[in-house]
Amino acid sequence: MSQGRIRKILVGDAQADRVVPPSGFTAQLTLFVSGAMAFLVVFALALSLASGRLADRWSQELARAATLRINAPQDQLPAQTQVALTILQQTPGVSSAKALTPDEQAQLLSPWFGPDIPIDTLPVPQLIEIIEGNPGYDRAGLRLRLSAELPGAVLDDHTRWREPLVDAANSLRRLGLFSILLIGGATAAMITLAANAALAANAQVIEVLRLVGALDSYIAQAFIRRFTLRALIGSAVGVVLGMISILLLPEASDEGGFLTGLGFQGWGWAWPLLVPPLGALVAFVATGTAARRKLRELS
């Protein structure tokens, strides 16, 4: 599309605009539909951006860390811990392995038992935190060796419960993106209907325009411009309302988890700004297609 053509659509030609009579009903329909759809797109966007962030965070935070738990009678625990650390240090792909101190273990347990529990009197297993290197270690190989040398050690690499969570977040993101496509398609369909109604209602006008030598492209332009502008205005209003609603949602907080993190963050705020131009583009294409088909029909 040439620059001149874009300018013609945005700035227009006051005289050319008047050749098609203003049509109340289709104008309002287009404004309302594109406004409502833009509002929904903002939410779908917020949803997929938030679930995307969640998926990234979960997979990043948990990917590199694993825990080795050593269950043994208290008197054998230090010796077995030492053996485990040695094994880990010999395993390629383990970047570091560190036994948690009793204080650190107490801290981890305090949410469950309260801060005043005398942890050293309880038979707690020893925890070893493993940070994976890049490339990572061979999980199956490590498990095999541990089961041979340290039957009481359990390797917990979090993948078991991490994967379904990350999967869920990722499908939520895909669902959001899919909804945006659906909304775009529905908008195109509605605008096509509205444009067809406007074209049919103006068959007489189109005939007169042809009699005085109007090209099809000129007639189509008059309709395209209208619907494009209406979609642009409607979706701009919808986006503004959608963004205000998102702003009014509670701040992201650790306690609220996913639900409060639904807003946009940083550059995420720029995404909704793309919606009005895209809405206008959808209207442009939909009206253009409808107009070309109708004009061919009417000839």
Partner 1 sequence: MIELDNIGYNYGGGELLTNVSAQLAPGSFHFLTGPSGAGKTTLLKLCYGALHPTSGRVRAFNMDVKGLDRDQTAMLRRRVGVVHQDCQFLNHLSIYENIALPLTVSGKALDSEEGNLNELINWVGLSERAEAKPPELSGGERQRAALARAVILSPDVVIADEPTGNVDWDMSQRLLRLLVELNRMGKTILVASHDLALIRAAKNQVQARVLRISDRRLTLAGADL
Q: Pairing mode, if any, of strands 65-70 and 153-156?
A: antiparallel
Interaction of residue 211 with partner 1, rule CB under 8 A: yes
Nearer of residues 19 and 168 to partner 1, judged by Cβ: 19
- What is the DSSP-derived secondary structure letter of residue 152? T
Q: Is 181 helix (H, G, I), strand (E, B) or coil?
A: helix
Nearest C-alpha neighbor of 41 from the set 170, 168, 187, 167? 187
What stretches of 64-93 show up as alpha helix (H) in DSSP? 77-90
Task: Write down the least CB distance from residue 221 to partner 1, Å.
Answer: 10
The only residue of 182, 215, 247, 274 in contact with partner 1, by rule CB under 8 A: 215
Site residues for partner 1, window 147-206 (CB under 8 A)? 205
In the chain the first and final C-alpha atoms are separated, in Å, by 26
Q: Would you count residue 210 as binding partner 1 (CB under 8 A)?
A: yes
Sheet order of strands, 65-70 included: 94-99, 126-132, 65-70, 153-156
Distance CA 220, CA 28 (A): 20
H or E stretch covering 290: helix 275-297
How many chain residues interact with partner 1 (CB under 8 A)?
21
158: three-class secondary structure by DSSP = coil
CB of residue 295 to partner 1, shortest distance in Å: 8
CA-to-CA distance for 236 and 248, rounded, in angstroms?
18
Q: Which of 136, 216, 260, 268 binds partner 1 (CB under 8 A)?
A: 216
Interacting span for partner 1 (CB under 8 A) from 79-87, 140-148, 173-181, 209-217: 209-217
Minimum CB distance to partner 1, residue 296 (Å): 8
Out of 15, 90, 101, 121, which residue is the one contacting partner 1 (CB under 8 A)? 15
293 lies in the binding site for partner 1 (CB under 8 A):
no
Q: Which of 189, 218, 244, 245 binds partner 1 (CB under 8 A)?
A: 218
Stretch that binds partner 1, among 25-33, 45-53, 97-105, 214-222 (CB under 8 A): 214-222
Q: Provide the residue count of the chain.
A: 299
Using the rule CB under 8 A, is 21 a contact of partner 1? yes
Q: Does 209 bind partner 1 (CB under 8 A)?
A: yes
Binding site for partner 1 (CB under 8 A): 15-16, 18-19, 21-22, 205, 207-218, 295, 299
